[in-house]
Structure 1
Amino acid sequence: MSQAKKKILFHLPIPIDSGSYNGTQGRILGVMKYFSDRKDFFEVDAVSGNKFGIVEWGAAQKQEILKCVDNIFVYEGDRNLVDFLYTRLQSLYYQKILQQQLPVDSDYFAPPGYVRYMRQLISQKNYDFIWINNLDYAHLAAEKTSEATRIIDMHDITSRFRLVRKNIPGFEKLKFDYESNFKREVKLIDKFDTVIIDAQNEREILSSHLPATKLRLVPTLIEGSISGSSTVPYQSREFKYDLLFVGANNQPNKDGLNFFLNSVFPEIVRHKPDTRFVIAGKIVREIQIDASFKENVDCLGYVPDLADIYLKSRVAICPLITGAGTKFKLVEAMAYAMPIVATKISASALSLIDGVNAFVTDDPMVYAEKVIRLLNEPELAQKISQEVAKTFENEHSSLSVYSKLDAILGM
């Protein structure tokens, strides 16, 4: 007699675009790939919501997600005026009157109507697990209303992310007290049975505040990518570009890329005038390339499939100077066994060790020096490629991540 499938209610904060390399979407796609590969053991319902006046979940989006899950339920928040007024008043009170960011434990993204909808779903089906993605939506399942095991995947420690956001235009005038918000965050996630983080440094931060049995480290899985050990060997690749940066249109990417273009790239070009640098992603809308580098830099914009670019680029760079959490672009570069040069904040959430499986530095001159070495010394680049491939296999491969998810879901 076959064992009954375990029932999971899986929350989606946003519609999922399989062509996107946004970090949140990438992490969720990896988990959904796991569910798909374990379809004989799980019955997965997805739940999400439309915001007031906006229909994010149309017929096409629902049909796409049904390729990965058994059912999709969408809260029609686009029609709920009460929820809209509830969230607008919160925003007005905190941001306009108090001149501060919303508290991290605010229910702004999970207003009462959405919570009631979620509880109705839970009451109608005997779920074994309820999985929430991102602290913003924690209130959807923060209170125990069934026997289901409640899981929250943090993606990032939100209070750290909000602290960084103080430097982003539109938020720089809003106050944010990190210590009090961090305490609020810990209190909220402690209501869940399992708290998933994706980086060792985040576990170190939270381990003194939450029971060790509650915290589970699950690195980001790259859905659909080939593994570092099975891709084309570095020494056998045909390179078109020397340097690669992949990024969405956000402030940390903009600041980091400007830092690189202004403080690092000129030194690289001075030593190697024919350096070819390719930038992929919507970040190209926000940057200006100096006229003297027009022949060196290709701005591709959004690229549906990055595999070819990864395999045709010698070195991946990640020069971010602000931000928090795991940099999805680096995990992708690791998947393709690319030599990496990153700043400390970029590499902080990953097992990248300077001089072993990557180069990590914040000094512009040292950054340029490491890039030049990788471009001039094929043996060094190959060695770093081999080491980062091993790291990827040990921590981010399907085999590694699936075993951690199996343990959480009682497989």
Structure 2
Amino acid sequence: MSQKQKVLFQLPTSISPDSLNGHNGRVLGMLKYFHDRRDRFSVDAIGGNKFGLPEWTADLQQEILRFVDNIFIYQGEDNWFDFVYSRAQSVYHQRLLQEQLPVDSDYFTPPGYVSFFNNLLARSSYDFVWINNLEYAHLASNLQSPNLQTIIDIHDINSIFMLVKKNIDLFKNLKFDHKANFAREIALLERFDKVIANSQFERDILAKELPTDKLHLIPFIVSGLDGLDNSSKSTPYEERVFEYDVLFVGADNQPNREGIQFFLDEALPLIVERKPDFKVAIAGKISSVVRVEPVLAKNLVCLGYVPDLAELYLKSRLVICPLRTGAGTKFKLVEAMAYAMPIVTTLHSASAVSLVDGVNAFITDDPAAYADRVSRLIHEPDLAARFSVQISKTYASQHASSAVYSKLDSIFFDANITKI
């Protein structure tokens, strides 16, 4: 067997294998790929603690070491120069210019972190450097070596994500020039050998700006660490015992708040008219902030944090994803697909994944139509079962580990790289 490919994998924030949200799930899914290909790869991980807030505890580092060979943490909280350097940018842009930080700012990668990163590169001979998120691009954007491939997994198009921030109180009064920042983003991405998008929608946007051999679509690997690839084969839809009609899972963020409130305010009353005992289960931190008319309180079950969602998915007739803003792939949608759940979603949410209205999901932005589609799946179990079968097939072809691993293999072991 040929020599293993050596990878330096950057960790954007501290993560735990026990916490599978959109961000964590994406990073953990990639680490799982490298672990499952450990006969082909040797992987070191690198991360950094923020000033005054050490996040990479010894326990979290030990958990990540289950999937990589070594982990190196930059103790940024000990570097006052980095603190002043980053905060000076924040003051200049947000307070003096009254604008959001530019997308190509090195706020998250001050000089001390870059030096730590470069020193690690100098000590070891890596074949690949993998960066997560544009905020950390400056760690590797200036590397030039014929023997080193630089890869960035953007997670989201940052200039689109920052538009969403304008709906958050902290950023409402800050200016943001989307066109100028998108151009900055493209210029930064062009410095990398490979750029990875996780949604078809964002790939289509970037494809107009980046060469085809540089840009790759790698969907979410939802299974990450917990074997969801097999969940869609666990209990056929017709054999499930339902406790809830609809399930919504979400963290407490602006797109989730707006989306679930749209459903509760405009669709739920119409559904309850047809089915007075209709039950909506809401899981995750979003549970603490939802509002509903008192007359509809009996139709809502706020579960808060649920450590194991598997049972909850299988006890729900269908999943809703009524989000109308946000960037990137909606992790909750792909997770629902892993459980072969019938889905009712919006055009915005569906744009990132392979959902087709009336074939493997219902997709609409109209409140009355949204209520009608949910009611149809509740009252037509045969239709819901057909959707379950179709969504299971879509998941297997697009998001199961075998499908995504094949796409990743093509990046690492293509014609220009020695195959193993």
Give the TM-score normalised by the residue count of structure 2. 0.96
Q: State the identity %.
A: 56
CA distance in 2, matches of 1:275, 1:71: 51
Give 1:185-224 correspondences, 5 Å limit.
185-222=185-222, 223=224, 224=226
Aligned residues of 2:218 and 2:407 also touching (Cα < 8 A): yes
Give 1:10-409 correspondences, 5 Å limit.
10-146=9-145, 147-222=147-222, 223=224, 224=226, 225-227=228-230, 229-409=232-412
What letter is aligned with 1:174? L
CA distance in 2, matches of 1:231, 1:87: 49
Aligned residues of 1:227 and 1:393 also touching (Cα < 8 A): no
- Residue 8 of structure 1 is matched in structure 2 by 7
Alpha-carbon deviation of 1:131? 0.1
| Mean Cα deviation higher: 184-193 or 318-327 | 318-327
CA distance in 2, matches of 1:302, 1:243: 17
Aligned residues of 1:19 and 1:305 also touching (Cα < 8 A): no
CA distance in 1, matches of 2:300, 2:229: 27
CA distance in 2, matches of 1:54, 1:313: 39
Aligned residues of 1:324 and 1:345 also touching (Cα < 8 A): no
CA distance in 2, matches of 1:397, 1:405: 13
Alignment coverage as a number of residue pairs: 410
Structure 1, residues 271-309: CA drift from partner, whole Å, max 9, x if none? 111111111111112223332223221111111111111
What letter is aligned with 1:177? D
CA distance in 2, matches of 1:231, 1:387: 15
What letter is aligned with 1:98? L
CA distance in 2, matches of 1:279, 1:363: 21
CA distance in 2, matches of 1:379, 1:398: 29
CA distance in 2, matches of 1:13, 1:217: 20
What letter is aligned with 1:322? T
| Mean Cα deviation higher: 253-262 or 13-22 | 13-22
Structure 1, residues 179-220: CA drift from partner, whole Å, max 9, x if none? 110000000011000000011111111112111000011000
What letter is aligned with 1:217? L
Note the aligned Cα RMSD (angstroms).
1.1
Aligned residues of 1:227 and 1:392 also touching (Cα < 8 A): no
Alpha-carbon deviation of 1:3? 2.1
What letter is aligned with 2:14? P
Aligned residues of 1:105 and 1:188 also touching (Cα < 8 A): yes
| Mean Cα deviation higher: 253-262 or 12-21 | 12-21
Aligned residues of 2:10 and 2:46 also touching (Cα < 8 A): yes
Gaps of 5+ in 1: none
Alpha-carbon deviation of 1:69? 0.8
Structure 1, residues 87-130: CA drift from partner, whole Å, max 9, x if none? 11100010111111000000011111111110011111000110
SS in 2 for 1:44: strand
SS in 2 for 1:242: strand
Gaps of 5+ in 2: 414-418
Alpha-carbon deviation of 1:228? 6.1
Alpha-carbon deviation of 1:145? 4.3
What letter is aligned with 2:108? F
